[in-house]
Structure 1
Amino acid sequence: MENLNIPSYDYKLRKVDEKIYIYDILRRKYIMLTPEEWVRQHFVHFLINHYHYPKSLIKLESSLKYNTLLKRTDIQVFGRDGKLKMIIECKAPYIPLSQQVFSQVAEYNQVLKAEFLTITNGMVYHCCKTDWENMNLEFLKDLPLFV
């Protein structure tokens, strides 16, 4: 897998029937390694090790209903109060972070109402804060620290 532009960690890989799997500390099992999963696993460790988000408040691949469609968020981060704080959309490193990618996570947020939206491909990431009162988004220079 490709080197990312976020810190690496001591990941565990396993090969089964010519397929490679990566250990997921949140789901406590090996997950088939795809370029998107590589980014997701690195970003989870980035949140935990550099921004101090507790593992217990991070949820992966959660379903939601958008209009009549069943969708899935890559990463959801909750606050101590149990409310959803951040939605993170992960893409493979070779996928550019376009308006279309941002629109995808913004659509999810119409249902979920998170305070922060983040998109990443492991090479770059962008985070914004949602101001629901004024229906405005403010792009941040960095991810918020967990408080």
Structure 2
Amino acid sequence: MFTKLNLPTYSIRIKEEGGKTLIFDSVRKKFLVYTPEEWVRQNFILFLSKDKAFPASLMAVETGLQVNQKQFRADLLVYDRKGKALLVVEFKAPSVKISQDTFDQIVRYNMKLQVPYLIVSNGLNHYCCQVDLQNQSYVFLKEIPDFSQIG
């Protein structure tokens, strides 16, 4: 049920209630129904906050946005200290292979968000891109930068 991810191991609150497994969302401060994708999200949020020094107070989970008259939700949006969107992350379950469709999805979101960093992760594989908005290009980074390097 709890897939070993390619991330450090963190203590995440899990409980059983009403026949359902619940996982604690440290950003929204509430328990949610456990799904493999939520497992990835909660581990990755802890990775960003504990290992990469991203302030949890600058994170927003499932932020609504509209692209071409369609409603979407960004899995995780991180802001800089001035309140400007800095980074968007798209999560998939560990069993979901990251494909071109996944990158197309996050690029569509970024047409609206205009953030300089994109991350896609299924908990096993993580891809981080730095976007040059002016030249409409991007470069894959070897590792996810610390908040101090980009924030």
Whether these two folds match at TM > 0.5 is yes
> Shift of residue 8 of structure 1?
1.8
Task: Give, in whole Å, the separation in 2 of the partners of 1:22 and 1:118.
Answer: 22
Structure 1 partner of 2:120: 119
The letter of the residue matching 2:77 is Q
**Structure 2 unmatched runs, 5+:** none
- 1:98-137 map, 5 Å: 98-137=99-138
The yes-or-no answer on 1:12 pairing with 2:8 is no
TM-score by length of 2: 0.95
Task: Give, in whole Å, the separation in 2 of the partners of 1:134 and 1:67.
Answer: 22
Task: Give, in whole Å, the separation in 1 of the partners of 2:9 and 2:100.
Answer: 27
Structure 1 partner of 2:66: 65
Structure 2 partner of 1:38: 39
Structure 1 partner of 2:147: 146
Task: Give, in whole Å, the separation in 2 of the partners of 1:71 and 1:141.
Answer: 28
Identity fraction in percent: 37
> Shift of residue 24 of structure 1?
1.1
Structure 2 partner of 1:85: 86
The yes-or-no answer on 1:24 pairing with 2:25 is yes
Task: Give, in whole Å, the separation in 1 of the partners of 2:133 and 2:30.
Answer: 37
Aligned structure 1 segments of 4 or more residues deviating by more than 6 angstroms: none
TM-score by length of 1: 0.98
Cα deviations by residue, 1:58-93 (Å, 9 ceiling, x for unpaired): 110110001111000000011111110100000000
Q: How many residues align?
A: 147
**Structure 1 unmatched runs, 5+:** none
